[in-house]
Amino acid sequence: MIMKKQLRKTVVNSWNEWDPLKHVIVGKADYTCIPWPEPAINIRFSLSKDRSMIGNCGPRPQASVEKANEQLDHFAKTLEKRGILVDRPTPIQWNQSMQTPDWRVKSGIGCMPPRDVL
């Protein structure tokens, strides 16, 4: 008798900041882009001391991608050493335009930033 592998459907929740971390997603910096100007990004850039991204929209320099991936890989390994299950998403081409009937952007940004709200 062959048993089919069932996919576990689990809602990802984080209701507090003190329960032990069990499972996390750590992104990758491959194909990340510097975002194109738009109101939310413009505010962020205007408040930042690092002005290197202003006017440099599109794919990030390879050297910064490699440095970010080194840091993310180290972070993932550190979590795994602590017994935390780490998922790493498959990188996609973020330099493609995306749109819905309500909005359009020239490119995505990336899947590397940690998120506390999905």
**HEC profile of the chain:** CCCCCCCCCCCCCCCCCCCCCCEEECCCCCCCEECCCCHHHHHHHHHCCCCCCCCCCEECCHHHHHHHHHHHHHHHHHHHHCCCEEECCCCCCCCCCEECCCCEECCCCCCCCCCCCC
pLDDT in tens, 31-71: 998 887 777 777 766 666 666 666 678 888 999 999 999 99
| pTM assigned to the model | 0.70
Residue type, 9: K
Mean pLDDT of 99-105: 89
